[in-house]
């Protein structure tokens, strides 16, 4: 077995094969079994050149190595071939497996330097490789962080640009007063809470009625008061504001004053004195 190490790109951990530990282990084994340089191999009485990134073996040998059945091994190799991860070339004496894109991920200088530095007992080659790898990984990590930030920015923008509902559009057209808008939304929420949700058409009718009930004032505060009255009482509909006790008392006193004025006018016409204790 050759000394040194192989390189695994981080993208492999996002690949489907990483989801199956057994298949992942077998595929990584194929990568490390592949020749790191062109190599001549004597097969029977014939010298065959095994190209870099390839490995000469057989389904039986791999099945024994991985502890699999021969059929399972054959199906796995077929899967890798269909996914363009390996190329398989069979012969009567064996099978040559070639790892696709081997040169992309296992550059020759790195593997050779590592092997030589290990065999010589020096670390110069490894340090150079580690430095190159670290620089590459640092760039990849920076790129990955930027991609994550960009995704978060896009997600925030999507939330901000949330599509308006038909309710939103109706209310936007109806008023620019934020307090009135909020009160209308509260009325809609109340209707939902009492299990009588509004439809878009019901909202249109309610807003039209709100204009009529607030006439002749047609001001936002009157409309807010009308809506709040229904919200506080959990009414499905909206109605004119009920006069409070203070208003009722005031109306009563005004009525009494009018009656007294009429009585005084009658007394004056008939020469009868008026009550000196009259509060009016």
Residue 49 confidence (pLDDT): 83
pLDDT in tens, 132-148: 555 555 666 677 778 77
Looking at domain 10-107, its CATH architecture is Orthogonal Bundle (1.10)
Counts for the chain of helices (H) and strands (E), in that order: 11, 5
Q: Taking all residues of the chain, what is their mean pLDDT, rounded to a whole number?
A: 78
The two structure tokens encoding residue 113: 């330097």
CA distance 188 to 198: 7
CA distance 58 to 94: 5
Q: Spell out the residues 6+ positions from residue 25 whose beta carbon is closer than 8 angstroms to its own.
A: 66
CA distance 164 to 166: 7
278: DSSP letter: -
Contact in structure between 226 and 242 (CB atoms under 8 Å): no
* pLDDT top residue among 5 and 124: 5
Contact in structure between 278 and 257 (CB atoms under 8 Å): no
pLDDT in tens, 145-167: 787 778 777 777 666 666 788 99
pLDDT in tens, 57-84: 888 999 999 999 999 999 999 999 999 9
* pLDDT top residue among 33 and 243: 33
What are the sequence ranges of the domains in the chain?
10-107, 164-267
């Amino acid at each position: 077995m050759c000394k040194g190490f192989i390189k695994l790109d981080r993208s492999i951990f996002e690949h489907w094969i990483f989801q199956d530990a057994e298949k992942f282990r077998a595929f990584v084994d194929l990568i490390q079994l592949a020749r790191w340089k062109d190599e001549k191999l004597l097969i029977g009485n014939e010298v065959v050149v095994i190209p870099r990134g390839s490995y000469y073996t057989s389904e039986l040998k791999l099945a024994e190595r991985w502890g699999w059945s021969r059929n399972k091994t054959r199906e796995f190799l077929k899967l890798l071939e269909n996914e363009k991860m390996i190329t398989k070339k069979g012969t009567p004496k064996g099978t040559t497996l070639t790892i696709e894109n081997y040169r992309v991920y296992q550059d020759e200088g790195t593997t050779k330097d590592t092997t030589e530095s290990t065999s010589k007992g020096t670390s110069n080659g490894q340090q150079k490789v580690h430095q190159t790898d670290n620089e590459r990984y640092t760039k990849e990590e920076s790129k990955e962080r930027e991609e994550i930030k960009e995704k978060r920015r896009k997600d925030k923008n999507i939330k901000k640009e949330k599509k308006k509902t038909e309710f939103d559009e109706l209310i936007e057209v109806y008023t620019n007063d934020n307090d009135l808008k909020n009160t209308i939304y509260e009325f809609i929420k109340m209707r939902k809470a009492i299990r009588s949700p509004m439809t878009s058409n019901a909202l249109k009718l309610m807003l039209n009625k709100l204009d009529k009930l607030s006439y002749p004032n047609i001001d936002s505060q009157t409309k807010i008061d009308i809506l709040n009255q229904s919200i506080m009482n959990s009414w499905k509909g909206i109605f004119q504001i009920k006069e409070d006790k203070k208003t009722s008392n005031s109306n009563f006193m005004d009525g009494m004053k009018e009656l007294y004025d009429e009585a005084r006018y009658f007394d004056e016409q008939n020469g009868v004195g008026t009550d000196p204790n009259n509060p009016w």
